[in-house]
Chain A
Amino acid sequence: MILTRRWTLLAAIGTVTLLGATGCSAPEKSSPAASDASTPSGSITVYNAQHEELTQAWADEFTAETGVTVTLRNGDDSELGNQLVQEGSASKADVFLTENSPAITLVDQAGLFAPVDDATLAQVPEQLRPSTGTWTGIAARSTVFAYNPSLLSESEVPDSMLDLADPAWAGRWAASPSGADFQAIVSALLELKGEDATRDWLAAMKENVVVYKGNSTVMKAINAGEIPGGVIYHYYWFADQAGTGENSANTQMHYFKNQDPGAFVSVSGGGVLETSANPVAAQAFLAYITGKGGQEILKNGTSFEYPVSDSVDANPALVPISELDAPVIDPSKLNSTKVTDLMTEAGFL
């Protein structure tokens, strides 16, 4: 029938037009460096679990210096880590940046990283990167107990994070267990105290804790007097203090120290994917963020995380990292999958 043929033609034209239109808007694949193999050029895609604002500042400055276009895919540590593992060799990612170590270790253990350039590794002290050399620390953050002094006197603040499992703390402390930050703290606990102790602690925590979504929200609730205290990272407090202070003015921070699991210093990681289509630019980006320029942005910016470079001191407002008396943990030993399983088992996920 003529009707059929014409319709086929019309629809075919429509389909082609559509595919053309939508295809054009897809992002271009990163292109390899042009002529000089050592000069970064083209574009890279960064799977970014770090704070968007910080990575965007890095990306903008890096682009200004090198001309390399940086596209961010923002997500959470474990989400992007697991995503990279599933994507495998087909991944469009060139660089992976995390907030904590477990997720980057997951990708590392799947053998997806290329070795980090030696010059980059040399910029970062050994204790802030894994022994494998397949990724490096890019920033660090300390666990703290934030509390509202009008609800909790200094003497009532727990000595150890483990004390929060005590029934006396029922309904009196907050956390964001669905976030990668808290899961990293649990991974440190797992590494330090073992699986059984961690399972017990999480079960007790399930009874006691008031769950919020996001560390900022935890701090906001403490500040508003909704809850006496909570486990968060240090920089949320400093960032808010540097701004309006509206979510932290009524709060104080307690550092657990004494190599307590709650004194855990979490290393944010960065690595270059083995399958990167533009390894030169990807390595250059990692070298940039761990170098003086990138770490200065970290220090002077609004993130208030600890720099990992020897050449850049921490923001003077922060308690020096050497005084935190953190437990010694090889970041590449932290196991995100086990932690997720334990937290699912405890009913947090």
Chain B
Amino acid sequence: MIPAAPSTATTAPDPSGTVRAAVAETGASGSAGFTDAAAGRVGKRPSAFIVAAAITVSLLGLLPLGYVIVTGILTGWPTLSALVFRPRVGELLLNTVGLVVITVPLTAAIGVAAAWLVGRTSLPGRRVFAVLLATPLAVPAFVNSYGWVSAVPSLNGLWSGVLIATLSYFPLVYLPCAAAFRRLDPTVEEAAESLGSGAWGVFFRVILPQLRLPILGGALLVGLHLLSEYGAFAMIRFDTFTTAIVEQYRSTFNGPAATALAGVLVLLCLFLLIGESGARGRSRYARIGSGVARVTPRRSLGAFTPVGYLFLGGLFTLAIGVPFWSVIRWLAQGGATVWTEPVLVQALLQTVGYGLAGAVVTCLLAFPIAFLAVRYPSRLSRGLESVNYLTSSLPGIVTALALVTISIRFVQPLYQTTVLVIVTYLLMFLPRALVNLRAGLAQVPVGLEEAARSLGRHPVAAFLHVTTRFFAPSALAAGALVFLGIVTELTATLLLAPSGTRTLAIQFWSKVNDINYVGAAPYALLMIVLSLPVTYLLFARSRLTSTS
């Protein structure tokens, strides 16, 4: 148990500050930083075009935050303070903060417990559970909420919000923790045991501190999801800042009250980011000297085996069983007719189209930033990365509100076009791509590319023929993650899409609002089916990085 300076420990020093570990959602972040040095530099300076592209994308990313600040200033303090300091905002603050304060520790505890059970015990069936516990990520929170409201119609208020959010988001902690468990060095624990620590002592004083980064990263992601979720909470009549902003939007379009609420919400986000950054600390646990960590022996649960099953089985039943049972029940009730709606096919195609276009554009535009970060690490490249993490932390409703207003006033030709929707997706989901591209790029030995060049390949050809091949799986993962985000995106699409757009999420929401739960079921099922492969990919990659 030796707190050590940043070393070749698996969690690299994090130049970009806050959110990178948070995007451990991808499971691929851990290995990103420290291979920079190995990758080396190609050429002395990055190409001007790459730098320009990276800066442009990042500046674009500052638009939403800039909008909130500028509108706040233009509104003027008297009006703004009247809109912010009122009882309603107090209610919302209480609700939103209560939700975060209760749900985040709950998801962390559940995530760690589940990860320990599948990663460290000899519980039979743990491999199956390891996959099953990642599947809630394939069920959008608003579909989960729909499933629960169908089963228990009286659900409402804070505790229902906590229930649904916990079940939807615990995998965000579980996945990185499960990955971290696999690479913990057992000798550290053994050292503690030899010094007299009991099993619980080892867990709390040795294991848990080593899991600090994945837990914090996951917890931050849960927090940000809680702040930005609309549909799940609207359905159970639980008002948060995001639901209130949407309601203001529906009553006033983009009135000052909506922006004032957005301002407070942005402050909450920043508070979370700073809090997480502060809590990460700098100490690391690492072994001194050479050697390879051996596989950690698994612990038998003994008489507690049924408790372990009860926990994992119960968790899975509540998180997946309930929504699935509801969807299937509604589908059975609807019969074949709900599938004949022509809009269904249109919505499916449009959703997939948006998802693919958004994924491709986001990956392409994230590339310059990732390229700079890996091949030309500098203060500039780190700054550019941070900007994009910050933007994506803002709730979709804030980004959408900003882009609606900006496009309507200043870039009319883009207003209500597909291009604007894709730009919004880019801003919202860029870090998902960035983290993966960056990690993938960092793992490619630049020497291979140089060898290709020395054998006469043109630099661009060398890059395309050598580096791109190694890098393709990461790019695919990056695209898949963005795709997953877009498929289940509701609020921003609702506000920005061209007239006549119907995505699966929009149609689902429209049916639910008419309490046509039967009609909504096919859309819910299609969203889950589209998300499942991506969720599995996430799971698989989190295993991959944990062994590398």
Contacts and interface: CB of A to CB of B under 8 A. Distances in A.
How big is the B interface, by class?
35 or more
B398 to A, nearest CB: 17
Nearest to B417: A26
A7 to B, nearest CB: 5
B285 interface: no
Contacts of A52: 510
Interface in A57-84: 71-76, 78-83
B50 to A, nearest CB: 7
Contacts of A72: 499-500
A25 B353 contact: yes
A178 B247 contact: yes
A7 B50 contact: yes
A1 B43 contact: yes
A11 B353 CA distance: 22
A96 B283 CA distance: 61
A168 interface: no
B545 interface: no
Contacts of A199: none
A75 to B, nearest CB: 7
B126 interface: no
Main secondary structure of the interface of A (DSSP, over half): helix
Nearest to A225: B154
A340 interface: yes
Contacts of B116: none
A11 B499 CA distance: 31
A119 interface: no
Contact of B357 (A21, A87, A93): A21
Contact of B237 (A6, A51, A211): A211
A93 B48 CA distance: 42
B49 A8 contact: yes
A26 B498 contact: yes
Contacts of A73: 499-500
Interface stretch (B298-306, B382-390, B408-416, B435-443): B408-416
B510 A74 contact: yes
B49 A4 contact: yes
Given A6-B459, A52-B510, A247-B515, A27 B499 contact: yes
A183 interface: yes
Interface residues of A, number: 61
A333 B361 CA distance: 48
Interface in B420-448: 422
Nearest to A86: B408
Residue of B234, B499, B510 with highest tally of chain A CB at under 10 A: B499
A234 interface: no
Nearest to B50: A7
Interface in B232-256: 234-235, 237, 244, 247-255
Interface stretch (A154-162, A213-221, A268-276, A290-298): A213-221
B460 A45 contact: no
B88 A349 contact: yes
B127 interface: no
A51 B516 CA distance: 13
B419 interface: yes
B378 interface: no
Nearest to A21: B357
Contacts of B153: 220, 224
A82 B253 contact: yes
Nearest to A46: B499
B364 interface: yes
A74 to B, nearest CB: 7
Nearest to B87: A347
A248 to B, nearest CB: 11
Contacts of B513: 214, 216
A53 B519 CA distance: 13
A189 B361 CA distance: 51
A220 B251 contact: no
Contacts of B257: 344, 349
16 contacts: A21-B357, A22-B361, A23-B418, A25-B353, A25-B357, A53-B514, A82-B255, A86-B408, A86-B409, A183-B251, A211-B237, A213-B237, A217-B237, A220-B515, A349-B88, A349-B244
Given A211-B237, A340-B252, 17 more contacts: A3-B43, A7-B50, A22-B357, A22-B418, A25-B353, A26-B419, A45-B499, A71-B500, A86-B253, A87-B408, A178-B247, A180-B251, A213-B235, A344-B83, A344-B248, A347-B88, A349-B257
